Amino acid sequence: MKMADFSVTELDSGIDFSNLPYWDVVIVGAGPAGLAASLTTVHRGLTTLVVEAKSRPGGQPQFLYADKKIVDVSGFPDGITGEELSARVFRQAGDALVQFRFNEELVAIEETDQVAKDDPLKRLVTNDGGYLCRKVIIACGLLHYPRKLSVLDQLSSKKVYYKIPKIGDYEENQVAVVGGGDSAMDAALMVLQRNGRVDMVIREEVPLGKADTLARIRHLGGNIHISSEITAAKFHGDKIVLTLSDGSNVECDLAIVQIGFLSAKDTFQRLDLRLNQDGSIAIDPYYETSRGGIFAVGDIHGDIKLITVAWTEGIQAAIYAFKEITSPYWLNEKRLRDQKITMIGEKITQAAQSQTLAKRKRT
């Protein structure tokens, strides 16, 4: 083991990763959250495996908006594409000896009766094998199941996209963009910036996406149909004709649908984890799920879905996992302390309330 320049232990490059009896940490998903978590655990000397369902790392920035210039990540004043950002973080993780298994999908996480250094081991089961490990960090995002629009689906056409097509696919085209969130607005903007023409069909009266992006779309000549839904769709020659809820027709060469994602409830239920009402994984303040030693980070829970938030959560969960491994009772003690503080807080409030009540009675 050698020391890194920020006083943590790095892994020895001589480790035979193909013959480890168990992994310290297995991370599910090589998106922003999983990659950031993996860098953090490996930089603390923990053997770290990342299991990724797709054939490449990167998650949404790589697969959903590879060409888009991301402008809200600190340190890149000129922006950076999803593809380049993903490649950079992946290289950093690989250089630090994070191990990857691609084309492997999480199926189950089983408890075993095996123990390593007082830590009960889990077996993470994928469609292609199983990995014994001490801690698991689930960072599988939204699983990329875009919400479908049945009225367009019945066309069974390749001209209906549920992700942003590659640059060039829509040059000079008339494009209908369905949805009023940031993803739909990003798509509309990209089409307009590449000589396409846009009709945005937005269900809400007030679009959910950023107001300044909407203003830019308007400025570049995009047509915005608010409080509007597609009631019918059919082909007329090569063109798709959409009928909107106000009875008007919109003709387009292709349609991009960006109306959100479905939470992967089935997978989460299979993992026997407590879920929130919206189907996302429930976590405590330490990103730990209802099953001890299993953490969940990134887009799979919470309201703020951003790369930097996914990074931060990945890093925090990785540090809590590290602390659980290096000082096993630390997190439990911290939880007890938190509970005590809450109870003391409640007692102080109760005492203050009864004092006020007594004062009122006296006056």
Ligand X SMILES: Cc1cc2nc3c(=O)[nH]c(=O)nc-3n(C[C@H](O)[C@H](O)[C@H](O)COP(=O)(O)OP(=O)(O)OC[C@H]3O[C@@H](n4cnc5c(N)ncnc54)[C@H](O)[C@@H]3O)c2cc1C
Instruction: Summarize as ranges the residues that interact with ligand X (CB under 6 A).
Output: 28-34, 51-54, 59-61, 64-65, 70, 72, 105-106, 139-143, 183, 186, 267, 298-299, 305-308, 310
- Three-class secondary structure of residue 40 per DSSP: helix
One-character DSSP codes across 312-341: HHHHHHHHHHHHHHHSTTHHHHHHHHHHHH
Residue closer to ligand X, measured from CB, 123 or 335: 123
Rounded Cα–Cα distance for residues 262 and 265 (Å) = 8
Closest distance to ligand X from the beta carbon of 360 (Å): 51
Residue closer to ligand X, measured from CB, 54 or 334: 54
Closest distance to ligand X from the beta carbon of 8 (Å): 23
Tokens 């949805």, residue located: 179
Closest distance to ligand X from the beta carbon of 216 (Å): 14
Are 153 and 160 in contact by the 8 Å Cβ rule? The answer is yes
Closest distance to ligand X from the beta carbon of 56 (Å): 8
| Exposed / middle / buried, residue 139 (Cβ in 10 Å: 0-12, 13-18, 19+) | buried
Q: Which residues contact 276 (CB under 8 A, 6 or more apart)?
A: 282, 301
Closest distance to ligand X from the beta carbon of 300 (Å): 6
Amino acid identity of residue 50, one-letter, is V
Q: Give the residue among 206, 202, 181, 184 at the shortest CA–CA distance from 256.
A: 184
Closest distance to ligand X from the beta carbon of 346 (Å): 35
Rounded Cα–Cα distance for residues 189 and 280 (Å) = 30
One-character DSSP codes across 181-231: SHHHHHHHHHHHHTT-EEEEE-SSSS-SS-HHHHHHHHHTT-EEE-S--EE
Residue closer to ligand X, measured from CB, 198 or 244: 198
Q: Which residues contact 195 (CB under 8 A, 6 or more apart)?
A: 171, 172
Residue closer to ligand X, measured from CB, 243 or 308: 308
Closest distance to ligand X from the beta carbon of 16 (Å): 24
Neighbour-count burial for 184-193, b at 16+ CB within 10 Å, e otherwise: bbbbbbbbbe
Closest distance to ligand X from the beta carbon of 57 (Å): 7
What is the DSSP-derived secondary structure letter of residue 62?
Answer: H
Closest distance to ligand X from the beta carbon of 151 (Å): 22
Residue closer to ligand X, measured from CB, 59 or 293: 59
Residue closer to ligand X, measured from CB, 20 or 70: 70
Residue closer to ligand X, measured from CB, 86 or 244: 86
Residue closer to ligand X, measured from CB, 140 or 200: 140
Are 299 and 24 in contact by the 8 Å Cβ rule? The answer is no
Residue closer to ligand X, measured from CB, 129 or 345: 129
| Token duo for residue 61 | 């920035």
